[in-house]
Chain A
Amino acid sequence: MTEFTSGTLTGKNLHLSFGHNHVLRGIDLHVEKGTTASVIGPSGSGKSTLLRVMNRLIEPDQGDILLDGRSVLKDNPDELRQRIGMVFQQFNLFPHKTVLDNVSLALRKLRKLSKDEARAEALEQLDLVGLKHKADARPANLSGGQQQRVAIARALAMKPEVMFFDEATSALDPELVKGVLALMTDLAKGGMTMVVVTHEMGFSRNVSDTVTFMDAGVVVESGPPEQIFTAPATDRLKGFLSDVL
């Protein structure tokens, strides 16, 4: 796996409410350059929302987001999102475009590469995820695991400094999870800065450098995986781990 020009991402005191629903209540998350932070917690705890706030798909009500130490809240959010790749639970490939076009679309329209350059670049990314031979297929004709690997290639093609994974394996059949997790592990080892919202405790424990446990919009506990999984300090984390392990 190639080396990445990755960055350090910091969320400070992030707050977000939808009406009376206070979804994020002052979240701090720091992901050092080249490391992987996994975010675990029960559903509805605000994990996925946190990712969307940190790439400003949803603007925070309060708090700050820093990329390499500089606040990005005043930047054009579209430019910020070009620097942060995101992979979704439901893949969200563009069904009306071929696999190749899914990967090359942003290269042509945002990075302004020529058609041939974009094609070469996209094929290279597809090769990295082992799907170069599917370049001309439609997403609907791929398995879920293949679709998710294309989605990863699509995000990587923009040469992001940080990658977000939002429960990237939750919608996959069990036998397809492995291939996607293996790819994510390769990325982590290759030095990509990653924020991984996941229910895969094995991945969280073995691959990530830090684990953050969220519940009801707050960070309850955060630390290295051994500490979180073998010596949980709070009852909430203990209860959660006994439910999922």
Chain B
Amino acid sequence: MDLLDQLGETFLNWEEMAKVVPSLLTVGLPNTLILALASGILGSLLGLLLALMGISRNPVARWAARIYTDLFRGLPAILVILVIGIGLSPIARELTGNRNPYPLGILALTLIAGAYIGEIFRSGIQSVEKGQLEASRALGFSYGKSMRLVVVPQGIRRVLPALVNQFISLLKDSSLVFVLGLAASDREIFRIGNDAMANTGNLSPLVAAGVLYLILTVPLTHFVNFIDNRLRTGRPEKKEPDELAAPIGKGAQA
């Protein structure tokens, strides 16, 4: 029983957990959400731009998007965060007079997310049937307007599940900004759990942090499955037969 008690003490020390929960909720949670949402939204805009460049007829744009995507998908997130966060900090200080690495953390996460989201958007846009662009152009819409009004909205709809998955990744990867050494009020869930662990020598605060991540990510995972199903099967609406044709061809319907 000693061993079990020891494990319980190490991972599930309720007292240590209770101590860290307030700061997890009031400091860690908002910061994790800000990091993930800000880089998710900015990354989506960047991703859309990359996707449109990736399918454009201009070879320079295509290549630029290709190289960017290879670069930021091919590097470990933590390396990008360190290089951007530390490497750009003198420039950021020069420009804004701000020494806080937090915005640079958002920038690094955005640059990474943009590469992945760009590929998601590109696959979605390219999955839209060629006839859609053709029909839109035949009405007299320019290429740009056709993309904006007809093709891109359909493409984005198809990749919503993949986008939510990407956001789940981002929620988790936001923890990596801890390497930039953020001010106490800027720390996210992982860093707060990690600090408490370091102070107490007990793993329970990290377990609490983990539970908080799961509370965020598990419902999102199930939400993905839900919209995925919904997109696949659509709402249950029944097809109506063509009134003009109904009197003619009842037998041929089958």
**Does A88 interact with chain B (Cβ within 8 Å)?**
yes
Of A93, A143, A158, the residue contacting B241 (CB under 8 A) is: A143
**Does A110 interact with chain B (Cβ within 8 Å)?**
yes
Q: Which range contains the number of A residues in contact with the other chain?
A: 35 or more
A158→B139 CA distance, assembly (Å): 8
- Interface members, chain B 210-253 (any A CB < 8 Å): 234, 237-245, 248-249, 252-253
Check B138 against A57 for contact (C-beta < 8 Å).
yes
Of A85, A95, A140, A158, the residue contacting B154 (CB under 8 A) is: A95
Of B131, B140, B149, B239, the residue contacting A158 (CB under 8 A) is: B140
Check A143 against B240 for contact (C-beta < 8 Å).
yes
3 A-B pairs closest in CB distance: A175-B249, A82-B140, A92-B135
Report the minimum CB–CB distance from B128 to chain A (whole Å). Answer: 10
Report the minimum CB–CB distance from B84 to chain A (whole Å). Answer: 37
- Interface members, chain A 140-171 (any B CB < 8 Å): 140-146, 151, 154-155, 158
> Known contacts being A146-B242, A178-B245, is A94 close to B135, with CB within 8 Å?
yes
Instruction: Spell out B's residues near A (CB within 8 Å).
Output: 129, 131-132, 134-142, 145, 149-150, 153-154, 157, 234, 237-245, 248-249, 252-253
A-B pairs with beta carbons under 8 Å apart, 15 shown: A78-B142, A81-B139, A85-B138, A88-B134, A92-B131, A95-B154, A96-B154, A105-B139, A109-B141, A110-B141, A142-B240, A143-B242, A155-B138, A176-B249, A178-B244
Query: In the complex, what residues of B have CB within 8 A of residue A106's CB?
Result: 139-141
A179→B243 CA distance, assembly (Å): 10
Check B139 against A173 for contact (C-beta < 8 Å).
no
A94→B145 CA distance, assembly (Å): 14
A94-B132, A141-B239, A173-B249 known; 8 new pairs, CB 8 Å cut-off, are: A78-B137, A78-B142, A85-B138, A109-B149, A158-B139, A173-B253, A178-B245, A179-B245
A-B contact count (CB 8 A): 99
> Known contacts being A174-B249, A175-B249, A179-B244, is A141 close to B139, with CB within 8 Å?
no
Report the minimum CB–CB distance from B252 to chain A (whole Å). Answer: 5
**Does A90 interact with chain B (Cβ within 8 Å)?**
yes
> Known contacts being A55-B138, A175-B248, is A109 close to B145, with CB within 8 Å?
yes
A130→B253 CA distance, assembly (Å): 21
A178→B247 CA distance, assembly (Å): 12
**Does A3 interact with chain B (Cβ within 8 Å)?**
no
Report the minimum CB–CB distance from B243 to chain A (whole Å). Answer: 8
A6→B233 CA distance, assembly (Å): 43
A130→B245 CA distance, assembly (Å): 12
Query: In the complex, what residues of B have CB within 8 A of residue A235's CB?
Result: none
Of B131, B238, B245, the residue contacting A145 (CB under 8 A) is: B245
Report the minimum CB–CB distance from B68 to chain A (whole Å). Answer: 29
Check A179 against B242 for contact (C-beta < 8 Å).
yes
A146→B239 CA distance, assembly (Å): 11
A154→B245 CA distance, assembly (Å): 21
Q: Which of A55, A96, A151 has the most CB of B within 10 A?
A: A96
Chain B residue at minimum C-beta to C-beta distance from A138? B237
Check B139 against A155 for contact (C-beta < 8 Å).
yes
**Does A86 interact with chain B (Cβ within 8 Å)?**
yes
**Does A79 interact with chain B (Cβ within 8 Å)?**
yes
> Known contacts being A81-B140, A92-B132, is A141 close to B237, with CB within 8 Å?
yes
Of B139, B234, B244, B253, the residue contacting A140 (CB under 8 A) is: B234
> Known contacts being A92-B134, A141-B237, A141-B239, is A178 close to B248, with CB within 8 Å?
yes
Check B153 against A96 for contact (C-beta < 8 Å).
yes
Report the minimum CB–CB distance from B121 to chain A (whole Å). Answer: 16
Check A79 against B131 for contact (C-beta < 8 Å).
no
Of A79, A146, A178, the residue contacting B140 (CB under 8 A) is: A79
Chain B residue at minimum C-beta to C-beta distance from A133? B243
Query: In the complex, what residues of A have CB within 8 A of residue B131's CB?
Result: 88, 90, 92
Chain B residue at minimum C-beta to C-beta distance from A130? B244
